[in-house]
Each structure stands twice: as C-alpha cells, then as structure tokens.
C-alpha cells in the first residue's frame, strides 16, 4: 500500500478517536473540561481537542492528494477510499452536531442523502469497470464542509464577536454545493445508470 492510501486509512482510523473525545462522559469520571472565554463567547477544551484531531485528519486529505499526483501514485483503491474517508469524517461530525442541536438537521440530511446517492452511482459505475474520482465540485463541497465544521467547533469565533453567523453561512453553502455536485455526478453517470433499468 502506498503512502497516500495509508494516509486515507489513517484518516478513517481517526474518526472513532474524534467520536470518543467528543462524546466521552467526562463528568462521570470527575473530569472537568476547562472553558476559555473570548469576549462573551466561551470555548471548551473538548472543542479544541476535537478541532486539533479534525484538522490533522483534514490535512491528511490535502496531503494524500498532493503526494499521489506529484509522485504518480494515483490508484483505483485511492480513488475509491479517499472520498469514503472524507465522508466518514465529515458526516460523523455533522451527525454529532445535529444530535446535540448545534446545527439544524435538514442540511445534514441533505448532505447524507447526496452522499448515499453518489455512492450508489459510484458502485453502479464500478460494476461497469468505471472508477469515478472526485470532481472539482465534490472537492469544493468537502472544503466548505470542513470550514463549516472548524467554525462550529470554534463556536463561530471570531465571527461570533461581530454577531455574524459565518458557520451557518458555510453550512448552507456546503449543502448547496453538495446538491450541485450530486447532480453533476448523476449527469456524468446517467447513461450507465439508465442502461441498467
């Protein structure tokens, strides 16, 4: 297994670690998470720890693509596992946020629906021997999702101090791009899908 694929697998392995840090019942074990105050906005150490883990995982997404293209290490496995690693990381974060009521459920559902449909399209294409790499809109979707997650973990700092809902803006922007990229995937693969009807 080459280095880019190892980085993708590492990103997948980080997902349960992020979940554990986020949902661990600290109070039950007598652990009090410090809160840091920035003006009228407080930020928990738990958020900061999850943010660090998320940023490390997100950086591996950038890194594996760069290494694969630079060193001609692009593989079918890499094209397959890289978007799965991204979706596991990003969707896990959004589901945890929605479960706590931090973000609305609707955009999270829309993005998961899109991913489910695109995965179905990819599987159908793979059966026909066609491996579909992430397109530009798909990559832009992932970037905007990651920015939204970072801002949510920061409790919208520093924009919250200006009363500007930047995290909400990026959440809905990511949702729109998600839908647009899903439509693009469908248009690219519709012939393959339709012939199997």
Cα separations in angstroms, 56 against 52, 62, 80: 6, 10, 21
Q: What is the pLDDT of residue 132?
A: 64
Q: What is the pLDDT of residue 64?
A: 82
Q: What is the CATH number of the domain that holds 26?
A: 1.20.120.1760
Reported as a single tens digit per residue, the pLDDT across 131-170 is: 666 678 888 998 999 999 999 999 999 999 999 999 999 9
Mean pLDDT of the chain: 89
Instruction: Assess contact for 40 and 113: CB atoms under 8 A.
Output: no
How many domains does the chain fold into? 1
Number of Cβ atoms within 10 Å of the Cβ of 62: 12
Boundaries of domain holding 105 = 3-195
Number of Cβ atoms within 10 Å of the Cβ of 76: 10
Residues of the chain above pLDDT 70, percent: 94
Greatest extent of the chain over all pairs of C-alpha atoms, in Å? 60
> Mean of the pLDDT values across residues 10-24?
94
Cα separations in angstroms, 95 against 100, 160, 165, 182: 9, 22, 20, 20
Reported as a single tens digit per residue, the pLDDT across 79-120 is: 778 888 888 999 999 999 999 999 999 999 999 999 998 888
Question: Quick one: pLDDT band at residue 70, thresholds 50, 70, 90?
Answer: confident
Q: Which residues of 147-165 are buried (b: 16+ CB within 10 A; e: fewer)?
A: bbbbbbbbbbbebbeeeee
């Amino acid at each position: 297994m080459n280095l880019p694929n190892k980085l993708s697998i590492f990103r997948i392995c980080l997902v349960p670690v992020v979940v554990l840090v986020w949902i661990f019942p600290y109070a039950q074990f007598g652990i009090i998470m410090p809160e840091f105050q920035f003006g009228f906005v407080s930020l928990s150490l738990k958020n900061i720890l999850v943010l660090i883990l998320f940023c490390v995982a997100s950086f591996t997404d950038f890194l594996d693509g760069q290494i694969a293209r630079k060193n001609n290490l692009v593989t079918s496995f890499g094209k397959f596992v890289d978007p799965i690693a991204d979706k596991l990381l990003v969707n896990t974060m959004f589901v945890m946020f929605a479960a706590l009521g931090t973000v609305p459920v609707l955009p999270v559902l829309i993005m998961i629906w899109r991913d489910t449909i695109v995965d179905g399209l990819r599987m159908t294409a793979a059966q026909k021997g066609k491996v579909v790499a992430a397109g530009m809109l798909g990559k832009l979707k992932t970037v905007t999702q990651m920015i939204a997650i970072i801002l949510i973990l920061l409790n919208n700092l520093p924009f919250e101090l200006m009363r500007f809902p930047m995290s909400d803006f990026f959440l809905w922007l990511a949702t729109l791009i998600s839908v647009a990229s899903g439509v693009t995937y469908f248009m690219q693969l519709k012939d393959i899908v339709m012939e199997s009807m």
